[in-house]
Amino acid sequence: MRTFARLNVGLPLALAACSAGTPPAQVAGPGASTVPGSPGAPMVAAATGEERPEASQWLGVAGESAAMMPGSHETFLGVWVDVPDRAAAHAPVATSVVIDTSGSMAGDKIVNARASAKRFIDGLKDGDIASLVSFDDAARQLVPPTRLDATSRVRFGGAVSELRADGATNLFEGIRMGGMNLMDAPSTHAVRRIVLVSDGIATAGPTSREILGALADKASLHGVQVTAVGVGLDYDEGTLNDIAMRSSGRLYHVGNSTQLATMLEQEMKLLRGTRAANAFVDVMPGAGVTLTGVDGTRTQTREGGGLRIPIGALFAGQRREFLVRARVDAPNEGSHAIASVRLHFSDPADGNLERVQEAVARYDVTTDQTRFANLKDERVQGIWSLAEASRATQRAADQIEGDRFDDAERDLAKVEKQLQVQAAASKDAKTRVRIEDNARMVGQARASAGGAAKAPAAAKPAAKRAAKLEANDAYMDSAGY
């Protein structure tokens, strides 16, 4: 999706990923073998009843419609990964807790940050690897990467209790040190996560959004993802957005620091439920197809016109969805493949064994426009609706920043209505819930924009800022972060 300058930021460039030539553990779609033991056949679940990745298909893909008119068309296909909502063996975690201790964190913020960091470390299991980094004018390694046990937990508790707020905000050094702590984690600990807590804007060290985003991008090459937590109303959401997106991580908006503990507890549950690590999706075009991009996420170009979508870790019950745009030169007749899609990941519950699933999107050529319309894929339409919502909420955040509250409120109301209609029409329960949840977030952003427009002069700056962050929250949610 984007091209970045390669910056020397202290992280080597080696990319640890399974080979594109790895034979698939499972092949889905027309022609796939279904005879147990034959090449490409799904393997049988373990006798214990635990669902193994090879016993079910997590990956799906479909075009805008199962039919297409002859000629050249701009179209799209939906790609989705549905992780079964079932527990698996504990995936060993390597994490670096990176806390902003600049002067703006003084008071309740640093008090809640200390308590939340301690609870987060307490929630990790013995044998997990954790480190603690603070940053103000510079970054400090308070606890180096350490395997957790009864003794090391006491050490962590003491270090956390010493966190104090003072100085500037060297966000770059905080992320860099956290990433260095994780990039050499043992292969047994494939789940690697920086948990970054900050309430401000980078004011020391390299401060540009591009450089900070590139740093997160480099960390991701080693399987390191960033959970970025923005506290209060004054953090730089644009930079935290980039850090989360370019590391395939997550973004949390915490309006009040008292919510930090709940948020970090939620993050802990997700890490505990990890079912896959180092995941990525490769999309390869069929004959006459040109892939033109993927909405709302970073991609890497592959040979043969393919695209790679980095995902990182996947937890039980998680759904990731992507809208892939394509140009198709459809012949006059026949059935044809739009794209082959492969999900690659490491299975932490099975010694990080590499696994691959495959699915193929196809279309039939038709001259009947009605048939094209009747064969539109419902789930792909839902993914398209969320992509449209993502663009609209991002635009609304800019409108709020420019004091165009009425425009933002009107556009958000339109998106909210469209999502409600799409959810009501959806027959797939998970798709319906996902769209309904985003519609609620869009509705909250719309209400905040309206409130900011009516706020008295003294309260307007804070109301405007809160409304923009609500819109940004809805944008990141619809984009899958």
Q: Residue 44 carries which DSSP code?
A: P
* Confidence tier at 45 by pLDDT (50, 70, 90): very low
Q: Report how far apart, in Å, the C-alpha atoms of 451 and of each of 60, 142, 304, 457, 479 are.
A: 41, 43, 51, 12, 25
Among 213, 197, 215, 219, smallest CA distance to 264 is for 197
Burial class (CB in 10 A: 0-12, 13-18, 19+), 151: exposed
At 265, the amino acid letter reads: E
379-438 pLDDT per residue, tens? 999 999 999 999 999 999 999 999 999 999 999 999 999 999 999 988 888 889 999 999
DSSP conformation letters of 279-293: EEEEEEE-TTEEEEE
Tokens 């935290």, residue located? 240
Q: Is the pLDDT of residue 69 over 90?
A: yes
What is the per-residue pLDDT for 13?
27
Tokens 């090459």, residue located? 221
19: left (phi over 0), alpha (psi -120 to 50) or beta: beta
* Confidence tier at 112 by pLDDT (50, 70, 90): very high
In this prediction, residues 202-217 reach a mean pLDDT of 94
CATH annotation of 56-88+274-376: 2.60.40.1290
Q: Report how far apart, in Å, the C-alpha atoms of 239 and of each of 5, 139, 232 are.
A: 17, 18, 15
Task: For domain 93-272, give the fold.
Answer: Rossmann fold (3.40.50)
* Confidence tier at 52 by pLDDT (50, 70, 90): low
- Please, are residues 9 and 339 in contact by the beta-carbon 8 Å criterion? no
Instruction: Write down the mean pLDDT value for the chain.
Output: 87
Q: What is the CA radius of gyration of the chain?
A: 23
196-206 pLDDT per residue, tens? 999 989 999 99
Query: What percentage of the chain carries pLDDT values higher than 70?
Result: 89
128 compared with 296, residue with greater pLDDT: 128
In this prediction, residues 359-375 reach a mean pLDDT of 93
- Please, are residues 216 and 243 in contact by the beta-carbon 8 Å criterion? yes
In this prediction, residues 437-462 reach a mean pLDDT of 95
Q: Report how far apart, in Å, the C-alpha atoms of 277 and of each of 142, 188, 239, 261 are.
A: 27, 11, 25, 25
In this prediction, residues 460-471 reach a mean pLDDT of 95
What is the per-residue pLDDT for 8?
29
Model confidence, pTM = 0.82
Q: Are strands 274-285 and 307-315 parallel, antiparallel or unpaired?
A: antiparallel
Q: Residue 376 carries which DSSP code?
A: B
What is the per-residue pLDDT for 24?
31
In this prediction, residues 181-186 reach a mean pLDDT of 92
- Please, are residues 161 and 114 in contact by the beta-carbon 8 Å criterion? yes
What is the per-residue pLDDT for 157?
94
17 compared with 154, residue with greater pLDDT: 154
**Dihedral (Cα; 30, 309, 88, 477), 10-degree rounding:** -110
Q: Residue 228 carries which DSSP code?
A: E
Residues belonging to the chain = 481
- The two tokens of residue 332 are 């006059």
Q: How far apart are CA 414 and CA 169, in angstroms?
A: 39
